[in-house]
Structure formats: C-alpha cells, structure tokens
Amino acid sequence: MLPRRIPDRDFSAYNDLLEVDTMLAEKVRDWTKAWEKEGLRKGIHRGRREGMEKGRQEGLRKALARTAMRMIEKGMDLETISELTGLDIDKVRDMSQNPDRYRAETDG
C-alpha cells in the first residue's frame, strides 16, 4: 500500500524487514511448540518413573505385611516378626489383633 502512495521510493529494505519479522514470528512459534512438546515428554517420563517407584513401594509394603501375617498365623513371637520384617512392633501387634482387616489390605 505504501509503495502505491509514494511511487518514486525503493521499499525493498522495508519489505526485507517485514520478511524478517514474519520469519522470526514463525521461529518463535516453532520454538514454543518444541519447548511445550519437550516439557510434556519430560513430564510424562517423570510421572511414569514416580508411578513405578510408588508401585514398587506399595508392592513391598504388601509383601512384608503378607509375610508378617503368615508368621503371626504360625505363632511366631511378635518381636521377632517385627525384627525380621522391619515393621513397627505396634503395627505387627495390630495385625495380630485384627487379622481379617490386614488380610483384606494385602489381598491375601
């Protein structure tokens, strides 16, 4: 539009600047998309890793509780069970007093 209003001027430098501006805007959009994609990828990876760790911990907790329940059923001393499983003595005592609840919690 400007070249038509001022026909005797060379606007090639102005046009070059407009092209640079357009290219920079495209690059910024591309970079933003790439950063978002990378952030999403890292978030998914971290979530999986944390989920797997939580699953391992939950599995270990259930395995120790199942083992303690079997030891209780065999009549082992509660102190010994606590020592061998690493479970708190109060937890082992509660397990021996409420076996049905703990069997349900450990899927056993």
Domain coordinates in residue numbering, the chain: 16-105
Cα(106)–Cα(70) distance, integer angstroms: 12
Q: What is the mean pLDDT of residues 57-70?
A: 95
Share of the chain above pLDDT 90, in %: 69
DSSP state for residue 74 in the 8-state scheme: T
Q: Residue 74 — φ and ψ, nearest 5°?
A: -80, -5
Give the pLDDT of residue 22.
87
Q: Is the pTM of this model over 0.75?
A: no
Whether residue 98 has pLDDT greater than 70: yes
